[in-house]
Structure 1
Amino acid sequence: MRDDAIRLLLVEDDDGDALLVREHLEDAGLTVDLDWVRTLDEAVARLDVDCVLLDLGLPDAVGLPALERLLAAGAPAVVVLTGLAGTEVGLRALAAGAQDYLVKGEVDGETLGRSVRYAIQRRRLDLTDRELYRSLVRAEETNRLERALLPKPMVSDAGLDVRVGYRAGRDGLLGGDFYDVVERPDGTVLALVGDVCGHGPDEAALGATLRTAWRTLVIAGTPAGEIFGLLERVLASERHRPEVFTTAAMLAVAPDRESADLYLAGHPVPFLLDPSAELLPTGHRGRALGIPVTGGWEPARLHLGPRWRVLLYTDGLLEATIGDGRERLGKAGLCAVVDEVQRATEPAVTTSSDDQAAAQDGTDLVHRVLARVREIHGGDLVDDAAVVLVGWGG
Structure 2
Amino acid sequence: MPPLLLIEDDAGDAFLVEELLQEVEKPPRITWVRSMAEAKERFTRDIQCVLVDLSLPDASGMEALRHVLAMAPDVAVLVLTGLNDAHVGIAAVAEGAEDYLVKGDVDARLLARAIRYALERKRADLAHQRLIQSELIRRENTRLEHGLLPVPLLAPGSVEHHTRYLPGRQRSLLAGDFYDTVQGPDGAIHTVVGDVCGHGPDEAALGVALRIAWRTLTLAGRHGNDALRTLDTVLRHERRSPEIFTTLCTATIEPGLRHATMHLVGHPPPVLIRGDEIDVVRGGPSGPPLGIFPEIEWKAIDVPLGDEWSLLVYTDGLIEASVDGGPDLLGTEGLLSIIEEQEGIDLDRLIERVTEINREALGDDLAAVLIARKG
State how far apart, in whole Å, the 1-side matches of 2:152 and 2:52 are: 65
Distance 1:157 1:300, change over 3 A: farther
Change (3 A) 1:293 1:220: closer
Bigger mean CA offset, 172-181 vs 188-197: 172-181
3-state DSSP class of the match of 2:264? Answer: strand
Q: Which residue of 1 aligns with 2:40?
A: 64
Aligned with residue 26 of structure 2, among 31, 34, 43: 34
Q: Say if 1:56 and 1:81, in contact at 8 Å, map to a contact too.
A: no
For the 8 Å contact 1:10–1:36, the answer to whether it is kept is yes
CA deviation after TM superposition for structure 1 residue 125, in Å: 2.0
Q: How far did 1:124 drift?
A: 1.4
Instruction: Give 1:376's aligned residue.
Output: 357
Please tell me whether Structure 1 or Structure 2 has the larger radius of gyration of its CA atoms.
Answer: 2
How many angstroms does 1:374 deviate by? 0.9
Counterpart in the other structure of 2:325: 324
SS in 2 for 1:368: helix
Structure 1 pair 194–67 and aligned structure 2 pair: CA distance change class (3 A): farther
**CA–CA distance in structure 1, aligned partners of residues 206 and 262 of structure 2:** 23
Q: CA deviation at 1:130?
A: 2.1
The corresponding residue for 1:100 is 77
Q: Does structure 2 retain, via aligned residues, the 8 Å contact 1:83–1:104?
A: yes
Look up the match of 2:49: 79
Matches of 2:238 and 2:42, distance apart in 1:
43
Q: Taking structure 1 as reference, are residues 55 and 89 closer, same or farther at Cα in structure 2, changes over 3 Å only?
A: farther
Q: What 5-or-longer segments of structure 1 have no aligned partner?
A: 1-7, 26-32, 38-53, 344-361
- Structure 1 vs Structure 2: percent identity of aligned residues? 33
Match status 1:9 vs 2:2: yes
2:314 partner amino acid: Y
CA distance change for structure 1 residues 68 and 328 in 2, over 3 Å: closer, same or farther? farther
Mean alpha-carbon deviation: is it higher for 9-18 or for 258-267? 9-18
Change (3 A) 1:82 1:249: same
Unaligned regions of 5+ residues in structure 2, if any? 7-13, 83-102
Contact 2:54 2:79 in 1 (8 A): no
Cα contact 1:271–1:280 (8 A) shared by 2? yes
Question: What letter corresponds to residue 203 of structure 2 in structure 1?
Answer: E
Q: Do the aligned partners of residues 262 and 383 (structure 1) sit closer, same or farther apart at CA in structure 2, a change above 3 Å counting? A: same
Tell me the secondary structure at the aligned position of residue 131 of structure 1.
helix
Contact 1:55/1:82 (8 A) holds in 2: no
State the distance in 1 between where 2:17 and 2:293 align: 69
SS of 1:190's partner is strand
The change in CA–CA distance for 1:232 and 1:114 in structure 2 (over 3 A counts) is same
**How far, CA to CA, are the matches of 1:67 and 1:278 in structure 2?**
72
Distance 1:131 1:125 in 2: 10
1:182 deviates by 0.7
1:315, 1:385 within 8 Å by CA — same for their partners in 2?
Answer: yes
Q: What secondary structure sits across from 1:321 in the alignment?
A: coil
In 2, the alpha carbon distance for the partners of 1:36 and 1:115 equals: 11
Q: Which amino acid aligns with 2:216?
A: T
Partner of 2:93: none
The TM-score with structure 2 as length reference comes to 0.79
Aligned residue for 1:46? Answer: none
Query: Equivalent of 2:31, from 32, 55, 60?
Result: 55
**Number of the residue aligned with 1:213:** 213
Is the contact between residue 159 and residue 393 of structure 1 (CA under 8 Å) also seen in structure 2? no
Q: Where does residue 340 of structure 2 map in the other structure?
A: 339
Report what 1:387 is aligned to.
Answer: 368
Aligned partners of 2:177, 2:284: CA distance in 1, in Å? Answer: 25
Aligned to 1:302: 303
In the TM superposition, what is the alpha-carbon distance from 1:146 to its structure 2 partner? 3.1
Partner of 1:49: none
